Amino acid sequence: MNHSSDTWILAAQCPSRLGTVDVVTRFLKEQRCYITEQQSFDDRLSQRFFIRTAFHPEAGGFDADAFQAEFTARAAEFDMTFELASPGQLTPVVIMVSKADHCLNDLLYRYRTGQLPIEIRAVVSNHPDLEPLAAWHGLPYYHFPITPETKAEQEAQVWQVIEESGAELVILARYMQVLSSEMSEKLAGRAINIHHSLLPGFKGAKPYHQAHEKGVKLVGATAHYINDDLDEGPIITQGVEPVTHADTPEDLVAKGRDIECLTLARAVGYHVERRVFLNDKRTVVFAR
């Protein structure tokens, strides 16, 4: 997070009405808190208001519990829900993978170098291939094979790891299994998936090779929250990379991997920095 060590984040939403910005800014002024960054959006279609404010207390001895209790009372008038994130807060996550290692490797690098404010509690996979990579980072690795007959049992094992680890976010870093409706519902709003975005759409085996045959000029990736519709959950962010007639199918695959890594990392960063708000089937994203 690009904030000083004493920066707090207040993220809130409520029905649209007069005074929504004022209730936040006035309260922070009264609490002797200096606003360093603020973004807000009023959605006229859904009649919902969203606000994210970064601030730091000017006086020492900031009492987060008292702050939340007092703001809860103030926000009740607006039917406002909010979350307060403390400085340096690391979001506990579980990463799910299959055999492809590029997204996992990128997340581990950003985790190791402090670029993402996350704490990886476990890596879960339906294949054993990436265990050495997790082990090198000192992370527990859970291999749960899956077949159509054992899907319910396997997902129960995965859910147990998520629950026992205390993970607040699940990252599907090229996890090549479709989650059940039950699992998708449990993880609603707290699981991010990444997939390629090619136009026209190419499904099935070797999508980049299919795209090459059609002469596509852009490859891309989409990061989104999961839901019960395959690859159609609320979109957090997308990325594109131009390609030309000179690029081979292997070039498209390589560029696709790069944009998948970047797009997934950006989405995770937005989520853990409290920049993303679910707005029915859409998202409100206050980008950096």
Residue numbers annotated as active site: 231
The angle formed by the CA atoms of residues 11, 238 and 283, to the nearest 5 degrees, is 35
Asked whether the beta carbons of 10 and 84 are under 8 A apart, the reply is yes
Residue for token digits 């094992």? Answer: 157
Token pair of 143 as six digits: 């291999």
Q: 200: cis peptide before it, omega within 30°?
A: yes
Token pair of 52 as six digits: 């994210």
How far is Cα 274 from Cα 72, in angstroms, rounded to an integer?
18
Handedness of CA 112, 116, 118, 123 (dihedral sign): negative
> What letter does residue 113 receive in the DSSP assignment?
T
Return the H-helix or E-strand segment holding 251: helix 249-272
The Cβ-side half-sphere exposure at 188, using a 13 Å CA radius, reads 11
How far is Cα 129 from Cα 100, in angstroms, rounded to an integer?
9
Handedness of CA 227, 229, 235, 236 (dihedral sign): positive
CA dihedral of residues 85, 86, 88, 90 (deg, nearest 10): -50
Residue at 78: amino acid letter = F
